[in-house]
Structure 1
Amino acid sequence: MGRSWAQPVSVGVVSAVVGVTSSFAVVLAGLRGAGADPAQAASGLVVLTALMGVATLWLSRRFRRPLTVAWSTPGAALLASTGAVAGGWPAVVGAFVVTGVLIVATGLVRPLGRLVAAIPAPIAQAMLAGVLLPLCLAPVRALVEQPLLVAPIVVLWVVLQRFAPRWASPAAFGLALVVVIVLADGWGWLRAPALAFTVPSFSVAAVVGVALPLWVVTMASQNVPGVAVLAAAGYTVPWRYAMVLTGAGTVLGAPAGAHAINLAAITAALPASPESHPDPARRWVACQANGVTCLVLAPLATTLAALVAAAPPGVVESVAGLALLATFGAALAGALTVPEGAGDAAVARVPAAAAFLLSAAGVTVAGIGAAFWGLVAGVVLHLVLGRRTG
C-alpha cells in the first residue's frame, strides 16, 4: 500500500518542481516585460503558483483523473515581447481579466471554441515561434557579453539535455540562482511573500494587443495540446468544467498580477503515464501531490523573484531562452507544415512565414503589439492564397 502511494506522490512532486522551475524565469520576464514592477511581478508569481495548486487539487479530485493545471508559459513569452502598452500595467491587468472571461466563454459558447479551432494551426504556431524568437536569442547574446557567467549554465543545460532532459532547465535555473547568491551582497534577496493588487483598467489597445493574442496562444498552445496529451493516455478532459475553472481562476488572479492558468500540456504527460502508477485509476493521486507541492512553492516565489532581479544582466534571460528552445522548435516545425493537397508548398508556407516575421519584429501599430498583427497577416494571407494553393 505504501509503495502504491509513494510512486504517484513522487511523480507529482517532481512534475510540480520541474514545471515551476523550468519556466519561472520565462513567466517573470513576461510580467516584467508587460510593465509590472518587481513587487507586482513577484505577486503575480505567488498567485499563479497558488492558483495552479488549488485548481489541480480540485480538478483531479473532482474527476479522479490526472488533470494538471499550469501557468501559460507561451502566454508569458508573448507578454515578454509585447512591450509597453497604452494605459500601463493597469491596462495589462484589465487584459488579463478579459483573457479569463474569454477562456470561460470558450468553454460555455461552442461557436467561440470553433472560432479558435478555425485558426489554421500553422498560423498560430508561426505567431508563437515569432514571439519566442527574441527570447531564444538571449542565450547567444548573453554568452558573448557574459561568457564566464553564462557558459557554465549553457554547458550544464546541454549535458543534461543528453542524459536527463527533464531536469535540464530546472538545473540551469538552479545554477543561475547559485551564481546570483555568490555574487549578491548580503541576504537582502530573502523576502516574505507579499501581494500587490492593481485596479484593472480597460482599453481597446490592451484588449486587442494583449488579451486576444494571450487567449489564442493559451488555447492553441496549452489547452488544446493538453487535451491531446491526456487523450493519448486514455483520459477524457471535462472541457467545459476545465475552461470555466481556469478562466475564472485567471479573472480572480488578474488584479494580483496573474496572467493566465490553463490545462498543462508537457507537464501533464508524466502524471498521466504508467510511470505515475500502473493502474490508470490511481494516477490522479500524482496530481494531488502536484497541487500540494505548488502550494508549498508559492510563498517562495517572492524570494526567487528577488534573486532573479539581482542577477547580472543576461544570466536569467539565458535560462529563459534555453527553457523555450524546445517549444520554439516545435512551433517552428508546426508553422512550416504544409497540409495535404495544399499545392505549391512554397506558396502555402507564405502565410505562416509572414505571421512569424511580423510577430518576431516586435513592432507596435496603433498601440497594438506585433503578435496580433502577425496573426491577422497570417490569417488574411491564408484566405487570399488559399484558393491558389488548394
Structure 2
Amino acid sequence: MLVGGFIATWMGKTNWSALEFSLATPIMVKPEFSFQAFFELTLPLIVLVIGVQNIQAIGVLYAVGYKPPVNAIFTVPGIGTLLNSLFGGHPCVIAGPSTAICSSDSAGENKDLRYIASVVDGLLWISFGLMAGMAIVAATIVPKQLLATLGGLAMFGVFLTTFSQAFSGKFRSGAMVSFLISAANVTVLKVGAPFWALIVGFIVTLLLDRDDYTLIKNRSDREDEEQIAV
C-alpha cells in the first residue's frame, strides 16, 4: 500500500490537496415504510444477514474451536440494526470475513487472547466511521486501479480459505451454484444476485446434497441427545 501510494504520487496520479480533516456527525432519518422497499431491500437483507454473514461467522468460530453464543450473535446485531436504521445506517452483522481473520492463527497463538483483535477491529471501524467523509475523499486521491489491486490483495487469503472450505467438503453442489449466480451478478425483480444465489443454492443443496444435509442433521441430533443425557 505504501509503495503503491508512493509510486502514484511520484507519477503525479494523486490529488492530496483534496484531503481535509473533518469528523462525521450523525443525522437522524425519519422512518418511512414502503412495501416496495420491504420486498426489494428489507427481505433480501434479512435473508443475507441471517443466512450468510451471521451463519458464516458462527461456522468459522466453531471450525477454529470456539463455542459462540448463538442467541447473542443474532440478538445484539438485531438491536444494533434498529439503532442504525434511525440514522440511515446499514444492517449490523457479525461479518464472516472479519470473524475469520480475527479468530485465525494470524490473531495470535493463544485463542483466549484473540478477542483483542476483535476489539482493535471494532475501534478501527469506529474511527473509520467518524472520518467517513475523509475516507470517501481519500478513495479519490489515488487511482482506482491501485485501490482495486490493494483490495484484491487484501482479500486474496480470505478467498483461498473460503473456496477451499466451500468446494472441498460437503454441500459442494449448492456452493457452486451460489458462486456462479453471484459471479453472474443477475438482478431479478429488482433484487440483486446475492439474494438469489442464497435461495437457489439452498434449493440445489436440498435436491442434490440431500445426503450431506441428512448426515449433518443426524450428527446434530446425536450431539443434542448426548448433551441432554449429560
Scaled to the shorter chain, the TM-score interval is 0.5 to 0.7
> Which region of structure 1 is more displaced relative to structure 2, 358-367 or 251-260?
251-260
Q: Determine which of 204, 208, 214 is the counterpart of 2:49.
A: 214
For the 8 Å contact 1:193–1:299, the answer to whether it is kept is: yes
d(CA) in 1 for partners of 2:107, 2:130: 27
**Partner residue of 2:38?**
203
CA RMSD, 1 decimal = 3.7
Counterpart residue identity of residue 325, structure 1: F
Q: What pairs with 1:287-366 in structure 2 (closer than 5 Å)? A: 290=120, 295-296=126-127, 298-339=129-170, 349-366=172-189
Q: How far did 1:296 drift?
A: 5.0
**Partner residue of 2:70?**
239
**Partner residue of 1:260?**
92
Q: How far did 1:266 drift?
A: 1.7
For the 8 Å contact 1:177–1:307, the answer to whether it is kept is: no
Greater length-normalized contact order (CA 8 Å, ≥ 6 residues apart): 1
Q: How far did 1:362 drift?
A: 0.6
d(CA) in 1 for partners of 2:59, 2:144: 35
For the 8 Å contact 1:354–1:374, the answer to whether it is kept is: yes
Change (3 A) 1:211 1:190: same
d(CA) in 1 for partners of 2:172, 2:59: 23
d(CA) in 2 for partners of 1:207, 1:274: 40
Unpaired runs of at least 5, structure 2:
215-230
Q: How far did 1:307 drift?
A: 0.4
Q: How far did 1:309 drift?
A: 3.2
Counterpart residue identity of residue 158, structure 2: T
**Partner residue of 1:72?**
none
Q: How far did 1:198 drift?
A: 4.1
For the 8 Å contact 2:167–2:175, the answer to whether it is kept is: yes
**Partner residue of 1:223?**
58
Q: When the two structures are aligned, how many residues end up with a matched partner?
A: 201
d(CA) in 2 for partners of 1:186, 1:338: 51
**Partner residue of 1:382?**
205
For the pair 1:184 / 2:15, whether they are aligned, the reply is: yes
For the 8 Å contact 2:166–2:175, the answer to whether it is kept is: yes
Counterpart residue identity of residue 181, structure 2: L
Change (3 A) 1:180 1:366: farther
Counterpart residue identity of residue 286, structure 1: I
Identity, % of aligned positions: 20
For the pair 1:372 / 2:195, whether they are aligned, the reply is: yes
- TM-score, structure 1 as length reference: 0.42
For the 8 Å contact 1:191–1:306, the answer to whether it is kept is: no
